[in-house]
Amino acid sequence: MTTAKDFVKKLGADNEALFEASRMQVNTYFNNQPSQEELIEHFTGRMVNERMNMVAIAEKVATLPMDTDTTELRLLSKQAMDEALHFEMVKEVIEHISGQKVDVAKAIAHEAANPTAKGATLLEKYEASNDELALALYQFIAEGRAEVVWEEMSDVIEDKFISTRYAKIAKDEGFHSKIGRAKLEKICGDAETQARAEKIAHDIRCDLFRISAANTTPVAEAKELVRQAYGLEV
């Protein structure tokens, strides 16, 4: 039987098509020079997404069993704090672009009434608050993809106020992905768990690409990449 470490290594290799396709689409979107209004709307969705991540991880920390490993507790707590910082940093970016203070409550209400595609919605879809495997896969895949996306935005956006903040977010997202990887290496040691993880991972990748396609600019090469890797038609 495949060891947990080798299994997770394969999961990571299977993520690469999603990561590269997402990078292509983000690059194309920003190189097309979106208007100020489009940028504000785009980043408002990202701001709300970071807040949703913060809330979900904080709730997970608050409900962990009393005998939870202290390292796991500390790492998840750090992730919740990171997400809070990301929420604040993207808010600052929107204010930098618009020259006006963000009414956070209004922005969240507007986003709820006119929802954009957001990765954090997958936490609820896959019941990650009650399923340690789903949460670890979300961290490993969604946060790993987020690292690539924020890093690409940091590279392609010339405004230093924005690019330096997004480089910081990218680094944090990579750390969060490593938390998920470590957890998966602990819990994916049997064939049944591995089979279930493969199914959830495939579904998460497909959902994340649909989200990427909805939020950025469609790229034919990216679509073909995920079609070949995952059998996904978008």
pLDDT of 1 higher than 80: no
pLDDT of 234 higher than 80: no
Mean pLDDT of 163-171: 98
Mean pLDDT of 188-217: 96
Model confidence, pTM:
0.94
CATH match for 4-230 among 2.40.40.20, 1.20.1260.10, 3.40.50.300, 3.40.1080.20:
1.20.1260.10
Q: How far, in Å, are 6, 16, 124 from residue 88 at the CA level?
A: 37, 29, 23
Concatenating the DSSP letter of every residue in 7-74 gives: HHHHHHHHHHHHHHHHHHHHHHHHHT---HHHHHHHHHHHHHHHHHHHHHHHHHHHTS-TT--HHHHH
Pairwise CA distance, residues 93 & 95, whole Å = 5
Structure tokens at 208: 């994340």
Compute, in degrees rounded to 10, the torsion defined by CA atoms 115, 80, 59, 148: 50
Tell me the domain boundaries of the chain.
4-230
pLDDT 10s digits, 22-61:
999 999 999 999 999 999 999 999 999 999 999 999 999 9
Contacting residues for 186 by C-beta, under 8 A, at least 6 apart: 4
pLDDT of 65 higher than 90: yes
